Structure 1
């Protein structure tokens, strides 16, 4: 099995884990009899890879989990394999079917469709751990380990374990289980069993066992298994299997070849290599011998003296939930593009260098685990917004208009999502928005006319002379009925001609013409194209649901404002 540990602030490496040796490992290896071993290829390829994403349905999907799912999905696609979804819902106190539905909905929105899972089915189901537990799968294997001597029963009470932990901490030692019941008298064990005393099942870690991996970032990493985790628990009292036991059994039973997972699971590598990766599985499905462990790990965290990240950055990938980004108007393809770049880059050497914009198909074709980066990644909202804007502008006009129109209708700005007004609004904001949700404030601003407030600004006061001339000509043209009609099919050409005529008549050009014209028409110093705003304004009576200031009212306000402006004194 390959295992990839994807750290929250991420850098990566490839690692090989050694098999445990000794009586316990031999017993576990004995379970693998009858099934061949499998050696993975180099990190750059793994034909037929089977990857999995295994969320716990205790809340919504966060972006760190989404990236883990993405990498797993891409690796499977890259190698012509399968992407599995397994729901790890053994935390009965916190797991809910509602949370599972939310996670599945978020994955579906991102387009990360699983080949096997609770909704797709498959030959290795059930794909919910709670359902697998009901069949006694984990208890069956734990009993097999007990029978082989690879595990043993521990009758220590919680109070006794607390006392052992306190004593170890007081002595400055790592609080590990001291093996009280590791070599207990079988007769005493039987006596307690007969008395019905509760017990846990612990894995018997071989004495002196060292597990090592070769990590491309950290170099060789080794653990003394006994000192690190001790004889760890497989089944709690009452027979409930622990998380790590379920995960390793399920990965083996489902023939998962590559595991990509988060930083907090790195220490689970100790347990995996020492106990599980000989592919423990159910008695009816013997395990495959473990051969290789591939891990992704991170650079050390920044020192306390390191400067804090900018406000636009989220230092941990857990900081946002996928459904929040969806509700804020992000595109799923942009989210996938950005999440993939958090720890990976294309090896293609292009001149000039390629912009960091990829379609989903391009990511699936280019992705490789040997191109993950060593440097930690920071979730930068500014960069995500930029990438989202690039994807938004790359959409076909009809597709972008549908997204913007639906948003405007939901935001109470447009009467209908598919109206001429909504289409005009989409065209107007296309070059200004990074998120779909950016459209509504821009449209509201275009329909308003805050001329009085803008005239009080220092920027407008510098344009007083030009505004008096341009505004006067604009009011006169409107009074004479010669201003182009924003609803005309030829409006764009007609408006350009009108602006050119204003400039020629007044002897103005460039900013001296365009800035006062913008202020006079829109009441603002900045915003979308002035002509596009006039087109939108013409469609507002039949399409806008929010308040708008029509052109007649604007020209009346402008004329009054010009009349109140002080007359310049001749030099």
Structure 2
């Protein structure tokens, strides 16, 4: 038995080899172990002798004692030199919230470690990939604030950053594997492959490749090449043994190699297969950590075999749990909005989306749920990412958006909502004192920017008849409302009320106090009838600022004609025309009044 240091990359790797025979292509990472028994192959003289060996590797530092289990994960993260992570979407559709969270975790990990966040476009699916989808992906990531250090539009030392532009590289490495014997040409037809699958299914076995081309002679291969028979490149998988990785989120994960079978890395049309592209790209771009969705976990076995066959150092892997719907199924379109673009169009803020996505499977260990992107970078740690599925709660996302919206500087909030009101045709202007004051009045009831339409329309409306006809309005009606209305009309006609409104908040408070004293009313018995008579509603934002804003809106042209605004003058005209005696206990009369109001 021998002990040796494999490879020159930091950190050093101490490997145990049994027996003292190992092929130099195996350069071990700090997070994997491989038990490999190569098959006897006429076309692969390197493996003509049937050898059996085992390699197990762990990260060590020559100046430190072996790591304890609790320190192992941290050392795997910290001791590999510069952190380089990548987000590698396929431009075949919109950016799903699951993909956005994966991008976010990669971004946070890179920034928290002073590393690089790389964006790579995996567009080898030529039929489904479009440049429009790619542009939408880039736009969504930029909108979220996840700016990449290398990738499309930015460049970098490891480009090109689109897989469709890297075919020459893939072919070079495929030829290298063919030459070393790790890959062979497979001339099986589709019919033959389907027959193998059927036989495996009948025998209740994994659908592994059992064709003859793994052990074909040089002469047999040359005959098919001369005939021009189409062929794929298949990777030669050991028949025995297992592979294990130490996933930074899921812990130890292992596979038996006999469940895999020889797999294709290059199609007959010359196009590389996903797992081969990803491995070559991650290795040649010096990616140190692969943080991706757990649905990619099965791909890790194929990729690990390719890493080792090419002599590349494996990165650390971290597989993030799926995002689930409330029914604990995989989140999909049937559950509503699922793409970043949809949420942006619905009025969500990027900072709220980032905050919420970060909390899907991660937390800082406190009760705090409100984070800016900068705070997330400071707090983020991969060992606090949960391996169980996270439930996507749209109600909580809406609440969180409201928190972020109301935390914006007042100038920014006013600008956002003012521009929205003008664009929807409710107001004729997007800025000014009226808009500043009405935003401050209504903001507590606004979680999404489009909510502001309903909030403002509600303020401008005057559903008096509907309120009086409602069961909730009956107690107010029976509490001397006609008498209060008569006194209110008198103070309006005298100009006393309008004069008070011209003086602003102080004038309003002085008038209310005087008006209540004249009626010998205070508290709820004063304010409830006043609210109903002046706003037409039983509930709403603070009555004083509401009435002051209604007065300002009526004396300016800021409200568009089509907004359904009922001015104070028009409200008092309606009060003057009400036949109070018709509002009795007869429900038919009340329903009729409600119909008129509607």
- Structure 2 length normalisation: TM-score? 0.81
- Given the superposition, is the C-alpha separation of residues 167 and 253 from structure 1 closer, same or farther in structure 2, using an over 3 Å criterion? same
- Given the superposition, is the C-alpha separation of residues 123 and 301 from structure 1 closer, same or farther in structure 2, using an over 3 Å criterion? closer
Aligned partner of residue 486 in structure 2, secondary structure: helix
Aligned to 1:364: 377
Aligned partner of residue 406 in structure 1, secondary structure: helix
Paired residues in the alignment total 524
- Given the superposition, is the C-alpha separation of residues 414 and 273 from structure 1 closer, same or farther in structure 2, using an over 3 Å criterion? same
The within-5 A match list for 1:134-283 is 136-214=168-246, 220-227=252-259, 229-276=260-307, 278=308, 280=310
Aligned to 1:429: 442
Is 1:389–1:433's contact at 8 Å kept on the other side of the alignment?
Answer: yes
Q: Which has the larger radius of gyration?
A: 2
- Given the superposition, is the C-alpha separation of residues 404 and 132 from structure 1 closer, same or farther in structure 2, using an over 3 Å criterion? same
Aligned to 1:337: 355
- Report the Cα offset of residue 563 of structure 1: 3.0
Aligned partner of residue 295 in structure 1, secondary structure: strand
| Offset from partner CA, 1:169-203 (integer Å, 9 cap, x none) | 12222222224311112211111112111011011
Q: Distance in 2 between matches of 1:194 and 1:332?
A: 59
Q: Distance in 1 between matches of 2:309 and 2:138?
A: 28
1:293 aligns with 2:312: no
Q: Distance in 2 between matches of 1:418 and 1:205?
A: 68
Aligned to 1:5: none
- Given the superposition, is the C-alpha separation of residues 459 and 438 from structure 1 closer, same or farther in structure 2, using an over 3 Å criterion? same
- Report the Cα offset of residue 426 of structure 1: 1.6
1:384 aligns with 2:397: yes
The within-5 A match list for 1:431-446 is 431-446=444-459
Aligned to 2:63: none
Aligned to 2:538: 525
Q: Distance in 2 between matches of 1:75 and 1:452?
A: 59
- Given the superposition, is the C-alpha separation of residues 396 and 319 from structure 1 closer, same or farther in structure 2, using an over 3 Å criterion? closer
1:453 aligns with 2:486: no
Aligned to 2:88: 54
- Report the Cα offset of residue 316 of structure 1: 9.8
Aligned to 1:31: none
- Report the Cα offset of residue 244 of structure 1: 1.2
- Report the Cα offset of residue 224 of structure 1: 1.4
- Report the Cα offset of residue 512 of structure 1: 3.0
Aligned partner of residue 95 in structure 1, secondary structure: coil
Aligned to 1:42: 75
Unaligned stretches of 5+ residues in structure 1: 2-14, 29-36, 281-286
Is 2:323–2:360's contact at 8 Å kept on the other side of the alignment?
Answer: no
1:557 aligns with 2:574: yes
Aligned to 2:477: 464
Aligned to 1:542: 557
Aligned partner of residue 221 in structure 1, secondary structure: strand
Is 2:293–2:321's contact at 8 Å kept on the other side of the alignment?
Answer: no
- Alignment root-mean-square deviation, CA: 3.1
Aligned partner of residue 202 in structure 1, secondary structure: strand
| Offset from partner CA, 1:406-439 (integer Å, 9 cap, x none) | 2112222122322444333322221111111110
The within-5 A match list for 1:4-19 is 16-19=31-34
Higher deviation after alignment, 442-451 or 210-219: 210-219
Q: Distance in 1 between matches of 2:288 and 2:535?
A: 61
Q: Distance in 2 between matches of 1:26 and 1:63?
A: 49
1:321 aligns with 2:339: yes
Q: Distance in 1 between matches of 2:434 and 2:236?
A: 71
Unaligned stretches of 5+ residues in structure 2: 1-8, 10-29, 48-57, 61-72, 586-598
Aligned partner of residue 222 in structure 1, secondary structure: strand
Q: 1:418 aligns with which of 396, 406, 431?
A: 431
Which one scores higher on RCO, CA 8 angstroms, separation ≥ 6? 1
Aligned to 1:87: 121
- Report the Cα offset of residue 267 of structure 1: 0.7
Q: Distance in 2 between matches of 1:241 and 1:418?
A: 56
Q: Distance in 1 between matches of 2:500 and 2:163?
A: 62
Aligned partner of residue 84 in structure 1, secondary structure: strand
Higher deviation after alignment, 491-500 or 50-59: 491-500
Q: Distance in 2 between matches of 1:114 and 1:297?
A: 20
Q: Distance in 1 between matches of 2:515 and 2:309?
A: 80
- Given the superposition, is the C-alpha separation of residues 174 and 319 from structure 1 closer, same or farther in structure 2, using an over 3 Å criterion? farther
Is 1:53–1:72's contact at 8 Å kept on the other side of the alignment?
Answer: yes
Q: Distance in 1 between matches of 2:386 and 2:274?
A: 30
- Report the Cα offset of residue 26 of structure 1: 13
Aligned partner of residue 296 in structure 1, secondary structure: strand
1:491 aligns with 2:525: no
- Given the superposition, is the C-alpha separation of residues 105 and 211 from structure 1 closer, same or farther in structure 2, using an over 3 Å criterion? same
- Report the Cα offset of residue 60 of structure 1: 1.3
- Given the superposition, is the C-alpha separation of residues 103 and 483 from structure 1 closer, same or farther in structure 2, using an over 3 Å criterion? same
Higher deviation after alignment, 505-514 or 165-174: 505-514
- Given the superposition, is the C-alpha separation of residues 27 and 364 from structure 1 closer, same or farther in structure 2, using an over 3 Å criterion? farther
- Given the superposition, is the C-alpha separation of residues 126 and 453 from structure 1 closer, same or farther in structure 2, using an over 3 Å criterion? same
Q: Distance in 1 between matches of 2:219 and 2:490?
A: 108
